[in-house]
Chains A and B, each alone.
Chain A
């Protein structure tokens, strides 16, 4: 068993990809699988900053929303091809990360969380008021992707399974990037910053610059999740930017296991699956999910995946 997990840990991108290939068949319906895929990516981008570098942002909905809106606007108002629209969504989120990160990294601890929350809300109102472009309260409608051909195959976004695999393609690229970052020298510095910022500075690293870089990378990944969500839903609801979405990322990361590679995906799966199941017999699903969340925080503070790793004692090296 341990050997298997060791293998999974060393080939974590491949393992995740293979799992996500069969994932739609494990879920009651494809749309839920797509939703989990997107929010898993969102939580993963968030976890890069929170779990690995120790910065708790409460404003990451801004990047999810910016990705969604810029992708949506590119398609609806400017008639761009969807590939370019995704690219613009990611660039916009990364730029948003640069601005928000630049302001927020000057603060620490609870102040950092508050500043990101406040700046996230400013982004929310900005998009809310820009009604002509964003549709304001009603959200942005009509984010359509026309059927197209790849190597002679007709690809239609209306087929949920096809849509799942198109989105998976982008998610896998992002997962690879995250894995790459974590294994790299930059990844080591990130974890060191989480452990002791003062020492990292004394070692000769420019801590502020590292934080900003990781903030931007995290924002870009969350932006990609947002872009894909716009294509998936074919609308951009204004609640994409709501701070509750930021809270989702926090909860998913903690539930799954902050600072672990698969944790955010596990957290997203459990939360969204529960939401789906519990909603079918009570509208108070939030209360049920809340109780489960509290149970884990109290008794399994390392989260679901974090606790599994600990149980297996394989938490060293690449499996972290």
Chain B
């Protein structure tokens, strides 16, 4: 519970991550309010990606707890995160390259209906086909549905991955550098998409381009050397002396 008396959708309590002798995260505590759009920023090596991986269930932290709607999910299996409503897109695009655009999203949507069944036809699950079509419509890829996803442009593959992440109907969407490697035009389209998606669910994104997120997020968390440095509204962060020092110090 926070000061407003509501349970945050996601909460990190004293999270630390040790890789051998290297401490990637030390004692990070923060929470994310339901419906918020938060960016996690920080210079290179700040521990953003590690924090993202811990929050999205890629691996459990060495110490500390992760709570989802007040329930401890620290040691849930990676695949269970999507089932309880936490979905993510990766920094490096991960799609099923040999499969069609539509099949990519259909397989992702199928998770909620059928996982091991081999007595049915996959294409008889009409719900998954319809929801795949709707998701492709949303991210603007419907006209490419029959194309092999490996043949799509980089920006389109990223949009496809977001459609796949949405297929499990998540209440929390985590995006790791959603505009990485995108052209300025593609970036603008992606920002608009994120803005729309954030009206329906909680979104957390990791980004290192500070400019990009200023007009997008309502809250920013800054990490530095694996430690929690600051949090606040974009304005507060921009005027925070510590943050300025860290960013300017890095050049």
Of B160-168, B194-202, B239-247, the one with at least 4 CB within 8 A of chain A: B160-168
**Which of A195, A198, A204 contacts B99 (CB under 8 A)?**
A195
User: How would residues 158 to 177 of chain B score, 1 for a CB under 8 Å from any chain A CB and 0 otherwise?
Assistant: 00010011011000000000
Assess the B80–A202 pair: CB atoms within 8 A. Answer: no
Assess the B110–A188 pair: CB atoms within 8 A. Answer: yes
From 200 to 234 in chain A, residues with beta carbon under 8 angstroms from any chain B beta carbon are: 200-207, 209-210, 213
Q: Is B116 an interface residue (CB 8 A)?
A: yes
Q: Is B212 an interface residue (CB 8 A)?
A: no
State in angstroms the CA–CA spacing of A185 and B106 once bound together: 10
Assess the B107–A189 pair: CB atoms within 8 A. Answer: yes
User: How would residues 78 to 122 of chain B score, 1 for a CB under 8 Å from any chain A CB and 0 otherwise?
Assistant: 111111000110100011111110010011101111111111111
Q: Is B125 an interface residue (CB 8 A)?
A: yes
Assess the B99–A201 pair: CB atoms within 8 A. Answer: no
Residue of B nearest to A213 (CB): B116
Q: Is A311 an interface residue (CB 8 A)?
A: no
User: How would residues 168 to 195 of chain A score, 1 for a CB under 8 Å from any chain B CB and 0 otherwise?
Assistant: 0000000000001101111111011011
Residues of chain A lying within 8 A (CB to CB) of residue B114: 185
Known: A202-B90, A203-B108. A184 touches B79 (CB 8 A): no
Assess the A185–B120 pair: CB atoms within 8 A. Answer: yes
Q: Is B138 an interface residue (CB 8 A)?
A: no
State how many residues of chain B have any CB contact under 8 Å with chain A: 43
**Which of B83, B94, B125 contacts A185 (CB under 8 A)?**
B125
Assess the A202–B88 pair: CB atoms within 8 A. Answer: yes
Residue of B nearest to A204 (CB): B82
Residues of chain B lying within 8 A (CB to CB) of residue A180: 118-119
B18 to chain A, nearest CB (A): 23
Assess the B117–A202 pair: CB atoms within 8 A. Answer: no
State in angstroms the CA–CA spacing of A27 and B95 once bound together: 44
Residues of chain B lying within 8 A (CB to CB) of residue A189: 107, 110, 115
Known: A188-B107, A206-B77. A199 touches B121 (CB 8 A): no
Main secondary structure on B side of the interface with A: loop
Known: A183-B122, A195-B99. A206 touches B94 (CB 8 A): no
A219 to chain B, nearest CB (A): 16
Assess the B118–A185 pair: CB atoms within 8 A. Answer: yes
Residues of chain B lying within 8 A (CB to CB) of residue A194: 98
**Which of B79, B94, B119, B125 contacts A204 (CB under 8 A)?**
B79
Q: Is A196 an interface residue (CB 8 A)?
A: yes
Residues of chain A lying within 8 A (CB to CB) of residue B119: 180, 184
Assess the A187–B111 pair: CB atoms within 8 A. Answer: no
State how many residues of chain A have any CB contact under 8 Å with chain B: 28
State in angstroms the CA–CA spacing of A60 and B213 once bound together: 53
**Which of B103, B116, B120, B164 contacts A199 (CB under 8 A)?**
B164
B150 to chain A, nearest CB (A): 9
State in angstroms the CA–CA spacing of A194 and B98 once bound together: 9
Assess the A316–B122 pair: CB atoms within 8 A. Answer: no
Residues of chain B lying within 8 A (CB to CB) of residue A205: 79, 111, 115
**Which of A187, A195, A203, A207 contacts B167 (CB under 8 A)?**
A203
Assess the B167–A202 pair: CB atoms within 8 A. Answer: no
Known: A188-B110, A192-B99. A201 touches B164 (CB 8 A): no
Residues of chain A lying within 8 A (CB to CB) of residue B99: 191-192, 195
Assess the A199–B95 pair: CB atoms within 8 A. Answer: yes
Report which residue of A180, A185, A207 has the largest number of chain B beta carbons within 10 angstroms of its beta carbon: A185
Assess the A192–B107 pair: CB atoms within 8 A. Answer: yes
**Which of B80, B112, B118, B164 contacts A184 (CB under 8 A)?**
B118
State in angstroms the CA–CA spacing of A195 and B90 once bound together: 15
Assess the A186–B118 pair: CB atoms within 8 A. Answer: yes
Assess the A195–B78 pair: CB atoms within 8 A. Answer: no
Residues of chain B lying within 8 A (CB to CB) of residue A213: 116
State in angstroms the CA–CA spacing of A186 and B122 once bound together: 8
Residues of chain A lying within 8 A (CB to CB) of residue B146: 316
From 208 to 238 in chain B, residues with beta carbon under 8 angstroms from any chain A beta carbon are: none
State in angstroms the CA–CA spacing of A198 and B90 once bound together: 10
Residue of B nearest to A185 (CB): B114
28 contacts between A and B (CB under 8 A): A180-B118, A181-B118, A184-B119, A185-B110, A185-B120, A185-B122, A185-B125, A186-B117, A186-B118, A187-B118, A188-B103, A188-B107, A196-B96, A199-B95, A199-B164, A200-B107, A201-B78, A201-B79, A202-B56, A202-B82, A203-B164, A204-B79, A204-B111, A204-B168, A206-B115, A207-B79, A210-B116, A316-B146
Seen from chain A, the residues whose Cβ lies within 8 Å of a Cβ on chain B are 180-181, 183-189, 191-192, 194-196, 198-207, 209-210, 213, 316
Q: A202-B78, A204-B82, A316-B100 are in contact. List 14 more A-B contacts (CB 8 A).
A: A180-B118, A185-B113, A185-B125, A186-B118, A188-B106, A192-B96, A195-B99, A196-B96, A202-B90, A203-B79, A204-B79, A204-B83, A207-B79, A210-B116
